Protein backbone atom coordinates (compact mmCIF):
# COMPACT_ATOMS: atom_id res chain seq x y z
CA UNK A 1 0.00 0.00 0.00
CA UNK A 2 1.23 3.44 -0.89
CA UNK A 3 2.08 5.71 2.00
CA UNK A 4 1.56 9.42 1.47
CA UNK A 5 5.01 10.65 0.65
CA UNK A 6 3.77 13.01 -2.06
CA UNK A 7 0.85 15.40 -2.18
CA UNK A 8 -1.04 15.53 -5.46
CA UNK A 9 -2.29 17.51 -8.43
CA UNK A 10 -5.79 16.32 -9.34
CA UNK A 11 -7.09 16.81 -12.87
CA UNK A 12 -10.90 16.73 -12.96
CA UNK A 13 -12.69 16.76 -16.27
CA UNK A 14 -13.89 14.95 -19.38
CA UNK A 15 -12.11 13.26 -22.29
CA UNK A 16 -9.84 16.27 -22.78
CA UNK A 17 -8.45 15.58 -19.31
CA UNK A 18 -8.55 11.79 -19.69
CA UNK A 19 -6.42 12.14 -22.84
CA UNK A 20 -3.85 14.03 -20.80
CA UNK A 21 -1.92 10.77 -20.25
CA UNK A 22 -1.06 10.54 -23.94
CA UNK A 23 2.58 11.16 -24.78
CA UNK A 24 2.89 15.00 -24.69
CA UNK A 25 -0.51 15.29 -23.00
CA UNK A 26 -0.74 17.81 -20.17
CA UNK A 27 -0.92 15.11 -17.46
CA UNK A 28 2.28 13.51 -18.79
CA UNK A 29 4.03 16.86 -19.00
CA UNK A 30 2.93 17.76 -15.46
CA UNK A 31 4.03 14.38 -14.10
CA UNK A 32 7.41 14.92 -15.72
CA UNK A 33 8.08 18.38 -14.26
CA UNK A 34 6.59 17.53 -10.84
CA UNK A 35 8.43 14.19 -10.63
CA UNK A 36 9.48 13.44 -7.01
CA UNK A 37 7.51 16.52 -5.84
CA UNK A 38 3.77 16.00 -6.49
CA UNK A 39 1.92 13.00 -7.91
CA UNK A 40 -0.56 13.61 -10.72
CA UNK A 41 -3.98 11.96 -10.46
CA UNK A 42 -6.04 12.00 -13.64
CA UNK A 43 -9.77 12.12 -12.93
CA UNK A 44 -10.83 12.81 -16.49
CA UNK A 45 -13.93 10.86 -17.57
CA UNK A 46 -14.57 10.74 -21.28
CA UNK A 47 -18.03 11.93 -22.27
CA UNK A 48 -18.93 13.33 -18.84
CA UNK A 49 -20.62 16.66 -18.29
CA UNK A 50 -20.87 18.81 -15.13
CA UNK A 51 -23.96 16.88 -13.95
CA UNK A 52 -22.35 13.43 -14.03
CA UNK A 53 -19.03 14.61 -12.63
CA UNK A 54 -20.67 15.80 -9.37
CA UNK A 55 -21.09 12.37 -7.75
CA UNK A 56 -17.71 11.31 -9.14
CA UNK A 57 -15.99 14.30 -7.58
CA UNK A 58 -17.73 13.67 -4.24
CA UNK A 59 -16.12 10.22 -4.26
CA UNK A 60 -12.68 11.29 -5.59
CA UNK A 61 -12.13 14.18 -3.21
CA UNK A 62 -11.70 13.19 0.42
CA UNK A 63 -14.09 14.36 3.10
CA UNK A 64 -12.71 16.35 6.01
CA UNK A 65 -12.90 13.19 8.08
CA UNK A 66 -10.74 11.27 5.56
CA UNK A 67 -8.30 14.08 4.84
CA UNK A 68 -5.82 13.37 7.60
CA UNK A 69 -5.12 9.94 6.12
CA UNK A 70 -4.77 10.78 2.43
CA UNK A 71 -2.53 12.96 0.28
CA UNK A 72 -3.44 16.64 0.13
CA UNK A 73 -4.62 17.95 -3.23
CA UNK A 74 -2.39 21.00 -3.68
CA UNK A 75 -3.76 21.89 -7.12
CA UNK A 76 -7.12 20.97 -8.62
CA UNK A 77 -7.82 21.69 -12.28
CA UNK A 78 -11.46 21.68 -13.39
CA UNK A 79 -11.94 21.43 -17.15
CA UNK A 80 -15.49 20.83 -18.31
CA UNK A 81 -17.94 22.23 -20.79
CA UNK A 82 -16.97 20.48 -24.04
CA UNK A 83 -19.79 17.96 -23.46
CA UNK A 84 -22.20 20.24 -21.60
CA UNK A 85 -22.14 22.29 -24.81
CA UNK A 86 -23.50 19.38 -26.86
CA UNK A 87 -26.67 20.66 -28.52
CA UNK A 88 -30.09 20.44 -26.81
CA UNK A 89 -31.70 17.05 -27.36
CA UNK A 90 -28.45 15.12 -26.86
CA UNK A 91 -27.86 13.13 -23.67
CA UNK A 92 -24.76 15.16 -22.81
CA UNK A 93 -26.36 18.60 -23.08
CA UNK A 94 -26.53 20.72 -19.91
CA UNK A 95 -28.26 24.10 -20.17
CA UNK A 96 -25.88 27.04 -19.82
CA UNK A 97 -27.19 28.35 -16.45
CA UNK A 98 -27.06 24.83 -15.00
CA UNK A 99 -23.52 24.41 -16.34
CA UNK A 100 -22.40 27.59 -14.57
CA UNK A 101 -24.16 26.57 -11.34
CA UNK A 102 -22.57 23.12 -11.52
CA UNK A 103 -19.08 24.60 -11.82
CA UNK A 104 -19.76 26.76 -8.78
CA UNK A 105 -20.95 23.67 -6.90
CA UNK A 106 -17.67 21.85 -7.63
CA UNK A 107 -15.71 24.87 -6.41
CA UNK A 108 -17.80 25.31 -3.25
CA UNK A 109 -17.38 21.64 -2.41
CA UNK A 110 -13.71 22.45 -1.82
CA UNK A 111 -13.78 26.08 -0.69
CA UNK A 112 -16.83 26.36 1.53
CA UNK A 113 -16.02 25.90 5.25
CA UNK A 114 -19.40 24.23 5.71
CA UNK A 115 -18.71 21.63 3.01
CA UNK A 116 -17.98 18.06 4.09
CA UNK A 117 -15.12 18.17 1.52
CA UNK A 118 -13.70 21.54 2.62
CA UNK A 119 -9.97 21.68 1.90
CA UNK A 120 -8.34 25.06 2.49
CA UNK A 121 -4.93 23.89 1.19
CA UNK A 122 -6.31 23.15 -2.29
CA UNK A 123 -5.70 25.72 -5.02
CA UNK A 124 -8.16 25.59 -7.92
CA UNK A 125 -7.76 26.47 -11.59
CA UNK A 126 -10.60 26.45 -14.13
CA UNK A 127 -9.92 25.79 -17.83
CA UNK A 128 -12.26 26.81 -20.64
CA UNK A 129 -13.10 24.20 -23.29
CA UNK A 130 -11.24 24.65 -26.59
CA UNK A 131 -13.06 26.13 -29.57
CA UNK A 132 -14.83 23.53 -31.69
CA UNK A 133 -13.78 23.07 -35.30
CA UNK A 134 -17.09 22.01 -36.79
CA UNK A 135 -15.44 21.32 -40.15
CA UNK A 136 -13.42 18.53 -38.53
CA UNK A 137 -16.14 17.41 -36.12
CA UNK A 138 -18.70 16.99 -38.90
CA UNK A 139 -16.33 14.59 -40.69
CA UNK A 140 -15.76 12.66 -37.45
CA UNK A 141 -19.48 12.40 -36.79
CA UNK A 142 -20.22 11.23 -40.33
CA UNK A 143 -17.53 8.56 -40.05
CA UNK A 144 -19.45 6.79 -37.26
CA UNK A 145 -21.57 3.71 -37.92
CA UNK A 146 -24.35 4.71 -38.33
CA UNK A 147 -23.33 8.27 -39.26
CA UNK A 148 -24.13 10.89 -36.61
CA UNK A 149 -25.29 14.44 -37.08
CA UNK A 150 -23.37 17.50 -36.01
CA UNK A 151 -23.95 17.88 -32.24
CA UNK A 152 -21.65 20.82 -31.51
CA UNK A 153 -21.76 24.43 -32.62
CA UNK A 154 -18.92 26.92 -32.66
CA UNK A 155 -20.86 29.78 -31.05
CA UNK A 156 -22.52 27.54 -28.46
CA UNK A 157 -19.20 26.19 -27.21
CA UNK A 158 -17.90 29.75 -27.16
CA UNK A 159 -20.75 30.71 -24.81
CA UNK A 160 -19.83 27.82 -22.46
CA UNK A 161 -16.21 28.99 -22.47
CA UNK A 162 -17.43 32.49 -21.57
CA UNK A 163 -19.49 31.02 -18.73
CA UNK A 164 -16.33 29.45 -17.28
CA UNK A 165 -14.62 32.84 -17.37
CA UNK A 166 -17.63 34.38 -15.63
CA UNK A 167 -17.77 31.68 -12.95
CA UNK A 168 -14.06 32.18 -12.28
CA UNK A 169 -14.56 35.92 -11.83
CA UNK A 170 -17.57 35.40 -9.56
CA UNK A 171 -15.90 32.75 -7.43
CA UNK A 172 -12.44 34.32 -7.36
CA UNK A 173 -10.86 31.32 -9.06
CA UNK A 174 -8.21 31.79 -11.78
CA UNK A 175 -9.23 30.74 -15.27
CA UNK A 176 -6.93 29.39 -17.97
CA UNK A 177 -8.87 30.57 -21.00
CA UNK A 178 -7.77 27.94 -23.48
CA UNK A 179 -10.65 28.84 -25.79
CA UNK A 180 -9.21 32.32 -26.38
CA UNK A 181 -5.58 31.18 -26.49
CA UNK A 182 -6.29 28.64 -29.24
CA UNK A 183 -8.63 30.96 -31.10
CA UNK A 184 -5.94 33.61 -31.28
CA UNK A 185 -3.24 31.05 -32.08
CA UNK A 186 -5.18 29.88 -35.14
CA UNK A 187 -5.63 33.42 -36.46
CA UNK A 188 -9.37 33.36 -35.61
CA UNK A 189 -10.07 31.01 -38.53
CA UNK A 190 -12.15 28.00 -37.45
CA UNK A 191 -10.65 25.71 -40.07
CA UNK A 192 -7.13 26.51 -38.83
CA UNK A 193 -8.01 24.95 -35.46
CA UNK A 194 -6.98 21.63 -37.01
CA UNK A 195 -3.44 22.67 -36.04
CA UNK A 196 -4.41 21.99 -32.42
CA UNK A 197 -7.30 19.51 -32.60
CA UNK A 198 -7.35 15.88 -33.75
CA UNK A 199 -11.03 15.71 -34.63
CA UNK A 200 -12.39 19.20 -34.02
CA UNK A 201 -13.00 18.59 -30.27
CA UNK A 202 -9.91 16.91 -28.77
CA UNK A 203 -6.39 18.33 -28.52
CA UNK A 204 -3.41 16.99 -30.41
CA UNK A 205 0.20 17.24 -29.18
CA UNK A 206 0.48 20.88 -30.26
CA UNK A 207 -2.76 21.74 -28.45
CA UNK A 208 -1.70 19.97 -25.25
CA UNK A 209 1.70 21.63 -25.37
CA UNK A 210 0.12 25.08 -25.54
CA UNK A 211 -2.18 24.12 -22.64
CA UNK A 212 0.78 22.91 -20.59
CA UNK A 213 2.78 26.08 -21.26
CA UNK A 214 -0.22 28.25 -20.34
CA UNK A 215 -0.75 26.22 -17.19
CA UNK A 216 2.86 26.65 -16.10
CA UNK A 217 2.53 30.41 -16.68
CA UNK A 218 -0.78 30.49 -14.76
CA UNK A 219 0.75 28.60 -11.83
CA UNK A 220 3.66 31.06 -11.78
CA UNK A 221 1.21 33.94 -11.89
CA UNK A 222 -1.50 32.81 -9.46
CA UNK A 223 0.12 30.14 -7.29
CA UNK A 224 3.86 30.79 -7.52
CA UNK A 225 4.51 28.72 -4.37
CA UNK A 226 3.37 25.67 -6.37
CA UNK A 227 5.66 26.18 -9.34
CA UNK A 228 7.88 23.09 -9.64
CA UNK A 229 11.04 25.19 -9.69
CA UNK A 230 10.22 26.33 -6.14
CA UNK A 231 9.53 22.86 -4.74
CA UNK A 232 12.09 20.48 -3.29
CA UNK A 233 11.90 16.80 -4.19
CA UNK A 234 10.51 14.79 -1.27
CA UNK A 235 13.69 12.72 -1.14
CA UNK A 236 17.16 14.25 -1.52
CA UNK A 237 19.08 14.30 -4.79
CA UNK A 238 21.61 11.50 -4.71
CA UNK A 239 24.58 13.88 -4.45
CA UNK A 240 23.02 15.31 -1.26
CA UNK A 241 23.11 11.93 0.47
CA UNK A 242 25.55 11.60 3.36
CA UNK A 243 27.43 8.53 2.20
CA UNK A 244 28.71 7.78 5.72
CA UNK A 245 25.29 8.01 7.33
CA UNK A 246 22.78 7.81 4.46
CA UNK A 247 19.63 7.28 6.52
CA UNK A 248 19.99 10.68 8.17
CA UNK A 249 19.66 12.31 4.72
CA UNK A 250 16.94 10.02 3.36
CA UNK A 251 14.03 11.23 5.43
CA UNK A 252 10.92 12.51 3.64
CA UNK A 253 11.09 16.31 3.40
CA UNK A 254 8.57 19.12 3.18
CA UNK A 255 8.59 20.18 -0.48
CA UNK A 256 7.82 23.79 0.50
CA UNK A 257 10.85 24.37 2.76
CA UNK B 1 -7.57 15.82 -0.55
CA UNK B 2 -7.64 12.79 -2.77
CA UNK B 3 -9.88 9.97 -1.68
CA UNK B 4 -8.84 6.46 -2.64
CA UNK B 5 -10.94 5.76 -5.68
CA UNK B 6 -8.10 4.02 -7.51
CA UNK B 7 -5.54 1.49 -6.34
CA UNK B 8 -2.04 1.97 -7.67
CA UNK B 9 0.94 0.67 -9.60
CA UNK B 10 4.14 1.73 -7.84
CA UNK B 11 7.37 2.00 -9.79
CA UNK B 12 10.40 1.76 -7.47
CA UNK B 13 13.85 2.38 -8.85
CA UNK B 14 16.56 4.78 -9.99
CA UNK B 15 16.83 7.27 -12.87
CA UNK B 16 15.62 4.67 -15.35
CA UNK B 17 12.32 4.62 -13.46
CA UNK B 18 12.31 8.36 -12.78
CA UNK B 19 12.63 8.97 -16.53
CA UNK B 20 9.52 6.87 -17.06
CA UNK B 21 7.40 10.05 -17.05
CA UNK B 22 8.98 11.23 -20.29
CA UNK B 23 6.72 11.15 -23.33
CA UNK B 24 6.74 7.46 -24.37
CA UNK B 25 8.39 6.46 -21.08
CA UNK B 26 7.01 3.33 -19.43
CA UNK B 27 5.24 5.27 -16.65
CA UNK B 28 3.43 7.42 -19.22
CA UNK B 29 2.48 4.38 -21.28
CA UNK B 30 1.24 2.56 -18.16
CA UNK B 31 -0.76 5.59 -17.01
CA UNK B 32 -2.35 5.75 -20.44
CA UNK B 33 -3.49 2.11 -20.59
CA UNK B 34 -4.50 1.97 -16.91
CA UNK B 35 -6.35 5.31 -17.09
CA UNK B 36 -9.47 5.26 -14.83
CA UNK B 37 -8.39 1.83 -13.48
CA UNK B 38 -5.13 2.17 -11.54
CA UNK B 39 -3.05 5.26 -10.72
CA UNK B 40 0.68 5.13 -11.45
CA UNK B 41 3.05 6.39 -8.73
CA UNK B 42 6.63 6.93 -9.85
CA UNK B 43 9.10 6.34 -7.03
CA UNK B 44 12.20 6.41 -9.20
CA UNK B 45 15.10 8.30 -7.63
CA UNK B 46 17.90 9.25 -9.98
CA UNK B 47 21.33 8.04 -8.86
CA UNK B 48 20.02 5.79 -6.08
CA UNK B 49 21.29 2.29 -5.42
CA UNK B 50 19.71 -0.57 -3.41
CA UNK B 51 21.22 0.75 -0.16
CA UNK B 52 19.72 4.22 -0.39
CA UNK B 53 16.37 3.04 -1.68
CA UNK B 54 15.71 0.97 1.47
CA UNK B 55 14.75 3.87 3.79
CA UNK B 56 12.89 5.52 0.90
CA UNK B 57 10.82 2.41 0.29
CA UNK B 58 10.07 2.06 4.02
CA UNK B 59 8.53 5.54 3.83
CA UNK B 60 6.76 5.12 0.45
CA UNK B 61 5.10 1.81 1.19
CA UNK B 62 2.45 1.93 3.90
CA UNK B 63 2.77 -0.04 7.09
CA UNK B 64 0.05 -2.56 7.93
CA UNK B 65 -1.34 -0.01 10.37
CA UNK B 66 -1.63 2.62 7.60
CA UNK B 67 -2.88 0.29 4.88
CA UNK B 68 -6.58 0.53 5.59
CA UNK B 69 -6.50 4.26 4.86
CA UNK B 70 -4.41 4.38 1.68
CA UNK B 71 -4.64 2.97 -1.85
CA UNK B 72 -3.53 -0.63 -2.27
CA UNK B 73 -0.42 -1.21 -4.37
CA UNK B 74 -1.62 -3.86 -6.83
CA UNK B 75 1.64 -4.01 -8.77
CA UNK B 76 5.12 -3.05 -7.59
CA UNK B 77 8.00 -2.92 -10.08
CA UNK B 78 11.52 -2.96 -8.65
CA UNK B 79 14.20 -1.86 -11.10
CA UNK B 80 17.63 -1.31 -9.62
CA UNK B 81 21.21 -2.27 -10.30
CA UNK B 82 22.31 0.29 -12.90
CA UNK B 83 23.95 2.33 -10.12
CA UNK B 84 24.86 -0.52 -7.78
CA UNK B 85 26.97 -1.73 -10.72
CA UNK B 86 29.08 1.45 -10.71
CA UNK B 87 32.67 0.33 -10.29
CA UNK B 88 34.27 -0.16 -6.85
CA UNK B 89 35.59 3.11 -5.44
CA UNK B 90 32.58 5.14 -6.60
CA UNK B 91 29.97 6.37 -4.10
CA UNK B 92 27.19 4.45 -5.87
CA UNK B 93 28.91 1.05 -5.92
CA UNK B 94 27.23 -1.76 -3.96
CA UNK B 95 29.04 -5.12 -3.89
CA UNK B 96 27.23 -7.84 -5.81
CA UNK B 97 26.25 -10.03 -2.81
CA UNK B 98 24.97 -6.97 -0.94
CA UNK B 99 23.00 -5.92 -4.03
CA UNK B 100 21.29 -9.32 -4.17
CA UNK B 101 20.59 -9.27 -0.43
CA UNK B 102 19.15 -5.75 -0.70
CA UNK B 103 16.74 -6.81 -3.45
CA UNK B 104 15.58 -9.69 -1.27
CA UNK B 105 15.08 -7.25 1.62
CA UNK B 106 12.82 -5.04 -0.53
CA UNK B 107 10.79 -8.08 -1.54
CA UNK B 108 10.51 -9.43 2.00
CA UNK B 109 9.35 -6.05 3.26
CA UNK B 110 6.18 -6.67 1.23
CA UNK B 111 5.86 -10.46 1.26
CA UNK B 112 6.90 -11.51 4.74
CA UNK B 113 3.92 -11.88 7.11
CA UNK B 114 6.13 -10.68 9.95
CA UNK B 115 7.04 -7.46 8.12
CA UNK B 116 5.51 -4.20 9.35
CA UNK B 117 4.87 -3.45 5.64
CA UNK B 118 3.35 -6.85 4.77
CA UNK B 119 0.89 -6.49 1.88
CA UNK B 120 -0.47 -9.76 0.51
CA UNK B 121 -2.42 -8.03 -2.31
CA UNK B 122 0.74 -6.60 -3.87
CA UNK B 123 2.18 -8.40 -6.92
CA UNK B 124 5.89 -7.79 -7.53
CA UNK B 125 7.92 -7.71 -10.74
CA UNK B 126 11.70 -7.32 -10.88
CA UNK B 127 13.41 -5.74 -13.91
CA UNK B 128 17.06 -6.25 -14.80
CA UNK B 129 19.13 -3.15 -15.63
CA UNK B 130 19.77 -2.64 -19.34
CA UNK B 131 23.16 -3.52 -20.81
CA UNK B 132 25.64 -0.65 -20.68
CA UNK B 133 27.01 0.76 -23.90
CA UNK B 134 30.44 1.85 -22.71
CA UNK B 135 31.16 3.46 -26.08
CA UNK B 136 28.35 5.95 -25.45
CA UNK B 137 28.88 6.23 -21.70
CA UNK B 138 32.59 7.06 -22.09
CA UNK B 139 31.64 10.03 -24.31
CA UNK B 140 29.04 11.17 -21.78
CA UNK B 141 31.52 10.95 -18.93
CA UNK B 142 34.19 12.83 -20.84
CA UNK B 143 31.69 15.60 -21.66
CA UNK B 144 31.32 16.46 -17.96
CA UNK B 145 33.14 19.44 -16.42
CA UNK B 146 35.62 18.32 -15.23
CA UNK B 147 35.71 15.18 -17.39
CA UNK B 148 34.90 11.95 -15.56
CA UNK B 149 36.41 8.53 -16.03
CA UNK B 150 34.48 5.48 -17.18
CA UNK B 151 32.63 4.17 -14.08
CA UNK B 152 30.62 1.34 -15.66
CA UNK B 153 31.71 -1.90 -17.30
CA UNK B 154 29.71 -4.05 -19.69
CA UNK B 155 30.48 -7.37 -17.96
CA UNK B 156 29.98 -5.96 -14.46
CA UNK B 157 26.50 -4.67 -15.26
CA UNK B 158 25.76 -8.02 -16.90
CA UNK B 159 26.61 -9.74 -13.60
CA UNK B 160 24.20 -7.43 -11.72
CA UNK B 161 21.49 -8.25 -14.25
CA UNK B 162 22.15 -11.96 -13.67
CA UNK B 163 21.89 -11.38 -9.92
CA UNK B 164 18.39 -9.95 -10.41
CA UNK B 165 17.40 -13.07 -12.35
CA UNK B 166 18.81 -15.23 -9.54
CA UNK B 167 17.01 -13.27 -6.82
CA UNK B 168 13.76 -13.61 -8.72
CA UNK B 169 14.19 -17.38 -8.97
CA UNK B 170 15.10 -17.68 -5.30
CA UNK B 171 12.23 -15.48 -4.10
CA UNK B 172 9.62 -16.71 -6.56
CA UNK B 173 9.18 -13.27 -8.09
CA UNK B 174 8.84 -12.85 -11.89
CA UNK B 175 11.70 -11.08 -13.63
CA UNK B 176 11.46 -8.93 -16.73
CA UNK B 177 14.97 -9.51 -18.07
CA UNK B 178 15.41 -6.27 -19.98
CA UNK B 179 19.17 -6.84 -20.14
CA UNK B 180 18.71 -9.94 -22.30
CA UNK B 181 15.84 -8.49 -24.36
CA UNK B 182 17.88 -5.43 -25.37
CA UNK B 183 21.05 -7.44 -25.86
CA UNK B 184 19.30 -9.72 -28.30
CA UNK B 185 17.46 -6.82 -29.97
CA UNK B 186 20.78 -5.13 -30.77
CA UNK B 187 22.25 -8.26 -32.31
CA UNK B 188 24.63 -8.73 -29.36
CA UNK B 189 26.79 -5.82 -30.54
CA UNK B 190 27.50 -3.37 -27.72
CA UNK B 191 27.77 -0.37 -30.05
CA UNK B 192 24.31 -1.15 -31.49
CA UNK B 193 22.78 -0.53 -28.07
CA UNK B 194 22.66 3.14 -29.06
CA UNK B 195 19.38 2.20 -30.77
CA UNK B 196 17.83 1.92 -27.31
CA UNK B 197 19.98 4.11 -25.05
CA UNK B 198 20.42 7.90 -24.99
CA UNK B 199 23.83 7.97 -23.34
CA UNK B 200 24.80 4.33 -22.89
CA UNK B 201 22.94 3.96 -19.57
CA UNK B 202 19.44 5.47 -19.96
CA UNK B 203 16.64 4.36 -22.28
CA UNK B 204 15.37 6.36 -25.23
CA UNK B 205 11.81 6.12 -26.60
CA UNK B 206 12.56 2.89 -28.46
CA UNK B 207 14.06 1.34 -25.32
CA UNK B 208 11.10 2.38 -23.14
CA UNK B 209 8.66 1.10 -25.73
CA UNK B 210 10.29 -2.34 -25.70
CA UNK B 211 10.21 -2.30 -21.91
CA UNK B 212 6.52 -1.38 -21.90
CA UNK B 213 5.64 -4.11 -24.40
CA UNK B 214 7.60 -6.68 -22.39
CA UNK B 215 5.88 -5.51 -19.21
CA UNK B 216 2.44 -5.89 -20.74
CA UNK B 217 3.38 -9.41 -21.86
CA UNK B 218 4.78 -10.23 -18.42
CA UNK B 219 1.61 -8.99 -16.70
CA UNK B 220 -0.48 -11.12 -19.05
CA UNK B 221 1.75 -14.09 -18.31
CA UNK B 222 2.24 -13.82 -14.53
CA UNK B 223 -0.59 -11.63 -13.28
CA UNK B 224 -3.32 -11.86 -15.92
CA UNK B 225 -5.94 -10.56 -13.48
CA UNK B 226 -4.05 -7.23 -13.52
CA UNK B 227 -3.97 -6.82 -17.29
CA UNK B 228 -5.79 -3.57 -18.14
CA UNK B 229 -8.03 -5.34 -20.65
CA UNK B 230 -9.50 -7.34 -17.74
CA UNK B 231 -10.12 -4.38 -15.44
CA UNK B 232 -13.21 -2.22 -15.36
CA UNK B 233 -12.83 1.55 -15.04
CA UNK B 234 -13.71 2.67 -11.50
CA UNK B 235 -16.46 4.90 -12.88
CA UNK B 236 -18.79 3.81 -15.69
CA UNK B 237 -18.26 4.69 -19.33
CA UNK B 238 -20.54 7.61 -20.20
CA UNK B 239 -22.79 5.48 -22.40
CA UNK B 240 -23.43 3.20 -19.38
CA UNK B 241 -24.85 6.06 -17.35
CA UNK B 242 -28.58 5.90 -16.60
CA UNK B 243 -29.59 9.32 -17.89
CA UNK B 244 -32.83 9.29 -15.88
CA UNK B 245 -31.13 8.40 -12.62
CA UNK B 246 -27.43 9.09 -13.16
CA UNK B 247 -26.29 8.84 -9.53
CA UNK B 248 -27.28 5.19 -9.34
CA UNK B 249 -24.76 4.40 -12.11
CA UNK B 250 -22.00 6.71 -10.90
CA UNK B 251 -20.90 4.79 -7.83
CA UNK B 252 -17.26 3.73 -7.53
CA UNK B 253 -16.95 0.12 -8.72
CA UNK B 254 -14.57 -2.75 -8.00
CA UNK B 255 -12.24 -2.90 -11.01
CA UNK B 256 -11.94 -6.69 -10.66
CA UNK B 257 -15.62 -7.52 -10.98
Res. A1: pLDDT tops 80: no
Res. A210: pLDDT tops 70: yes
Of A1, A70, A235, the CB nearest to B45: A235
- Within an 8 Å CB–CB cutoff, is residue A247 touching chain B? yes
Instruction: Give φ, ψ of A48 to 5 degrees.
Output: -75, 150
pLDDT of A41-56, one tens digit each?
A: 999 999 999 999 999 9
ipTM above 0.95, yes or no: yes
Tell me which of A15, A104, A115, A194 is the catalytic residue. A15
Comparing CA positions, the residue from B4, B120, B118 lying closest to residue B62 is B118
The CATH code of the domain that includes A97 is 3.40.50.1110
pLDDT of A182-209, one tens digit each?
A: 999 999 999 999 999 999 999 999 999 9
Query: Chain A partners of B251 at a C-beta cutoff of 8 Å?
Result: 55, 59
Residue A255 lies in a domain: no
HSE value, Cβ hemisphere, 13 Å, CA-based, for A135: 8
DSSP for B56-99?
A: HHHHHB--HHHHTTS--EEEEEEE--TTTTSPTTSTT---HHHH
Inter-chain touch B22–A32, beta carbons under 8 Å: yes
Mean pLDDT over residues A210-221, rounded? 98
Residue B38 lies in a domain: yes
Residue B23 lies in a domain: yes
Question: Would you give per-residue pLDDT tens digits along chain B (257 residues)?
Answer: 577 899 999 999 999 999 999 999 999 999 999 999 999 999 999 999 999 999 999 999 999 999 988 999 999 999 999 999 999 999 999 999 999 999 999 999 999 999 999 999 999 999 999 999 999 999 999 999 999 999 999 999 999 999 999 999 999 999 999 999 999 999 999 999 999 999 999 999 999 999 999 999 999 999 999 999 999 999 999 999 999 999 999 999 999 99
Cα B26 to chain centroid distance, Å, stands at: 9
Residue B254 lies in a domain: no
How many domains, in total, are found in chain B?
Answer: 1
Q: Which residues in chain A belong to E strands, given as ranges?
A: 7-13, 38-44, 73-79, 123-127, 175-176
Residue A223 lies in a domain: yes
User: What is the pLDDT at residue A3?
Assistant: 79
Residue A24 lies in a domain: yes
Inter-chain touch B70–A238, beta carbons under 8 Å: no
Rounded CA Rg of chain B? 20
Residue A254 lies in a domain: no
User: What is the pLDDT at residue B193?
Assistant: 98
The whole domain housing A74 covers 7-249
Res. A134: pLDDT tops 80: yes
Residue B152 lies in a domain: yes
Amino acid sequence: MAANVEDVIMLLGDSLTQGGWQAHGFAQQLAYVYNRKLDVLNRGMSGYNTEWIQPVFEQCFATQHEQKHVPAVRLLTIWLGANDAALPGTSQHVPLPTFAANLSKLIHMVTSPSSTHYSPVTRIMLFTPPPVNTYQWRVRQQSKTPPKGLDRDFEVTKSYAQAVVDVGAKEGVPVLDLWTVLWEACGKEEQNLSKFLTDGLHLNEAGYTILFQELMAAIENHYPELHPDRLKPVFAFHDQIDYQNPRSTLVKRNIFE
